[in-house]
Amino acid sequence: MLTERSGRVREAHKLLRRAAREKAGLFLAEGPQAVREAVGSGDGRVVELFATATAAARWAPIVAAAEGAGVPVHPADEAALAALSETVTPQGLVAVCRSLTVDLPAALGAEPLLVAVLAEARDPGNAGTVIRCADAAGADAVVLTHGSVDPQGGKAVRASAGSVFHLPVSAGAPAADAVAALRERGLTVLAADGAGSLDLDQAEDDGLLGGPVAWLFGNEAWGLPAEVGALADHVVRVPIYGRAESLNLATAAAVCLYGSARARRRASARRPDRPPA
């Protein structure tokens, strides 16, 4: 049984740091949900799995699926798993995974219909939640521009609830390059900003949401950088009907992404010869 002093555990522990993740091309997925989705991605993503006896028994199907996929499963004690965890109460299951971020062209593909772009997002929990929202809304990709948090950090992976394994994620491209690539693929670029001159309802009424759309979302503290907002075709605000001052980043992203997904499905429904996207 491995302990926190074991060589494999010590090497995996290094992946808690972004620099080590980038150098090794590896990251950690912690907890049953993230590990389940990593193993189930079917692309050889998982390199090895660490599990306590209690966790291996509790989530036996996940461990069995990993073993069935040829993933080495290492029994480890509680202290070893605590050394690989960033949570207060470790769940006893941590996978070492190959990096999943791809370059911008690979993430976007040829004809994306819905893309979420995070510009200088610094909160990993928000980044992971936006990835989860984008996945749920049927987005084709998520792009984190230069200066954003690492989507493969522990908190981001956990907040994504496994969605980080479901759709292409790109990180590190300058915002201007991302917008240029989106325009080359025919997407309308919309910036989400509370000070936008156009509200989301009007954007839908004007037909802006029914086609291929990319949404730009900004930083949690200071919003969308002015120079990034200036790259958009339109700056759109989520209307506030009550007394709340604003919405947080992840909530606003969910509203905007679902607004686009709903508008596109409605547009497709009006064209019976074309199936919903």
pLDDT computed for residue 273 by the predictor? 56
pLDDT computed for residue 231 by the predictor? 94
pLDDT computed for residue 108 by the predictor? 97
Name the pTM for this structure: 0.93
CATH 3.40.1280.10 at 102-269, yes or no: yes
Q: How far apart are CA 33 and CA 123, in angstroms?
A: 21
Q: How far apart are CA 163 and CA 126, in angstroms?
A: 13
pLDDT computed for residue 123 by the predictor? 94
The torsion angles phi and psi of 154, rounded to 5 degrees, stand at -55, -45
What is the assigned CATH class of domain 7-99?
Answer: alpha beta
21 SS3 class: helix
pLDDT computed for residue 49 by the predictor? 98
Task: Spell out the domain ranges in the chain.
Answer: 7-99, 102-269
The per-residue pLDDT string of the chain (277 residues; one tens digit each, 9 = 90 and over) reads 999 999 999 999 999 999 999 999 999 999 999 999 999 998 899 999 999 999 999 999 999 999 999 999 999 999 999 999 999 899 999 999 999 999 999 999 999 999 999 999 999 999 999 999 999 999 999 999 999 999 999 999 999 999 999 999 999 999 999 999 999 999 999 999 988 889 999 999 999 999 999 999 998 777 888 899 999 999 999 999 999 988 899 999 999 999 999 998 887 776 555 555 5
- CA distances from residue 222 to 121, 212, 226, 257, 268 in whole angstroms, order as listed: 10, 27, 10, 21, 36
pLDDT computed for residue 276 by the predictor? 52
Nearest to 259 by CA among 138, 120, 126: 138
191 SS3 class: strand
Sequence-distant (6+) residues with CB within 8 A of 212 are 111, 112, 113, 114, 185, 186, 187, 188
pLDDT computed for residue 268 by the predictor? 75
For 36-80, give the DSSP string.
Answer: HHHHHT-SS-EEEEEE-HHHHHHTHHHHHHHHHTT--EEEB-HHH
Nearest to 218 by CA among 108, 101, 127, 107: 127
Q: How far apart are CA 119 and CA 246, in angstroms?
A: 19
